[in-house]
Structure 1
Amino acid sequence: MTGATADAAPLLQLRGVETFYGKIQALKGIDIDVNSGEIVTLIGANGAGKSTTMMTIFGAPRARRGRVVFDGKDITALPTHLIARLSIAQSPEGRRIFPRMTVFENLQMGASINNFAHFDEDLERVFTLFPRLKERAPQRGGTLSGGEQQMLAIARALMSRPRLLMLDEPSLGLAPLVVKQIFEVIADLNKREGLTVFLVEQNAFHALKLAHRGYVMVNGLVTMQGTGAELLARPEVRAAYLEGGH
């Protein structure tokens, strides 16, 4: 993978982050860095705490201990709607598009974060990335296929021109061909535009092939980290996440 610079500064830092649901501790003091221009992935089994990590960055749930820092600013206690205005965009698990709105209206919602600055230009950009969405522009989001809905969720996030794009399980439930297409778009955005991406994925093979660096999470703890290639080569990673097909 190319796209990251060797002297990249951390754009996102998690330090000693602990998150709870009631009395249940979901994150147990995790440290994660995402440098400018990188694709960083967090892999792990279902229930490991990957989605909680992503939601904690957005302040829902809020970290009980530790710090979340974006571009040098401590955002740990910041309200979610203010975090969204800091050039961080999220494509959440389960897509969560607006099903009764058209594709076009969903994209307008993404652009509303930065008051529709560059709307026509950004619309053309996401339609170039996802030509299917241009064809489906007048259709209601709820009538799209799963793959099209995932494309729309990512496109909606891109409409705010984020410096950091956070993707939660973008391959979940999708056909292999669609997954390949979506991962190619992510790689292209990173390579051509230097977009920083933090990717949470159960599909470890695709995620580690795409990412510059990765973290492995087990039961709310980061247990391993390294380059995507290093983690792909680790026997324990292969045994836990890659054996028996991708």
Structure 2
Amino acid sequence: MSAGAPPLLSARNVVAHYGPVCALRGVDLDVAEGEIVTLIGSNGAGKTTLMMTIFGDPRASEGEIRFAGRDLTRLPTHEIARLGLAQSPEGRRIFPRMSVLENLRMGAALGRPDCFAQDLERMFSIFPRLRERAGQRGGTLSGGEQQMLAIARALMSRPKLLMLDEPSLGLAPLVVRQIFEVVRDLNRAEGLTVFLVEQNAFHALSLAHRAHVMVNGRITLSGAGRELLARPEVRAAYLEGGA
């Protein structure tokens, strides 16, 4: 982010609840255009809640979330998506009865209809396996193929910001490496801005320009991805079988 330039996405003092339970406790976070920012933490730390709160479900009960200068905190989810945010959610959540091609058409609903063929070919070049599976129902794909489809579906909308929630969840190590290599290549070649929520701390911190650690709904550590990767307390907690 150049000096003085506002972040593409910013969260300020964001608090969110699930009923009486406070899930986010005053979160501050920025994502600058063209960078990869990752949020790591244990299961239940509040990572997914932050990503869902950015999309308006649950609503922030306090604080402000802004994207490209727009206040998102009271916008409905479909209007937030139209601003250029796209999410590949935890658990992938593809349409299992739809074919790969039909899933990609759904992702393109917020893109440019006149560029569908071009965007489709781009997805097939990024994920060649999807070309082979184009007519196959999404629910019959392997876990890795479903994750590729979830990311490709999000990319079909031509987002300004791609939000990835636990893309490595349940995948074999080789597939995890492939997924993270795709994200790195998209960022380097196209300048795609990425906000990544991830439990796999090694891959996430190796990939990220900047990173944050979340514990019990609060961000407790921040810094460059490689810097956090080298910190003893991060290694003990997230890379060496610690708490």
TM-score, scaled to structure 1: 0.96
Matched, 1:242 2:235: no
Between the aligned partners of 1:13 and 1:112, the Cα distance in structure 2 is 26
Is the contact between residue 14 and residue 30 of structure 1 (CA under 8 Å) also seen in structure 2? yes
From 28, 33, 47, give the equivalent of 2:44: 47
Q: How far does residue 21 in structure 1 lie from its aligned partner after superposition?
A: 0.5
From 66, 84, 89, give the equivalent of 1:69: 66
Q: In structure 2, what is the equivalent of residue 217 of structure 1?
A: 214
Q: Give 1:156-235 correspondences, 5 Å limit.
A: 156-235=153-232
How many residues are matched?
A: 241
Task: Name stretches of at least 5 consecutive residues in structure 2 with no aligned partner.
Answer: none
Is the contact between residue 111 and residue 117 of structure 1 (CA under 8 Å) also seen in structure 2? no
What is the SS of the residue equivalent to 2:113?
coil
From 100, 108, 113, give the equivalent of 2:110: 113
Between the aligned partners of 1:89 and 1:147, the Cα distance in structure 2 is 19
TM-score, scaled to structure 2: 0.97
Q: How far does residue 113 in structure 1 lie from its aligned partner after superposition?
A: 1.3
Q: How far does residue 114 in structure 1 lie from its aligned partner after superposition?
A: 2.7
What is the SS of the residue equivalent to 2:14?
strand
Q: Which contiguous aligned blocks of 4+ residues in structure 1 show a shift greater than 3 angstroms? A: 5-9
1:186-212: CA deviations, max 9, x gaps? Answer: 000000000000000000000000000
Is the contact between residue 89 and residue 164 of structure 1 (CA under 8 Å) also seen in structure 2? yes
Between the aligned partners of 1:19 and 1:125, the Cα distance in structure 2 is 37
The letter of the residue matching 1:240 is A
Between the aligned partners of 1:117 and 1:237, the Cα distance in structure 2 is 47
From 131, 135, 139, give the equivalent of 1:138: 135
The letter of the residue matching 2:125 is T
Is the contact between residue 14 and residue 32 of structure 1 (CA under 8 Å) also seen in structure 2? yes
Is the contact between residue 57 and residue 76 of structure 1 (CA under 8 Å) also seen in structure 2? yes
The letter of the residue matching 2:226 is A
Q: How far does residue 244 in structure 1 lie from its aligned partner after superposition?
A: 3.9
Q: Identity rate of aligned residues, in percent?
A: 73
Matched, 1:155 2:155: no
From 23, 27, 30, give the equivalent of 1:26: 23
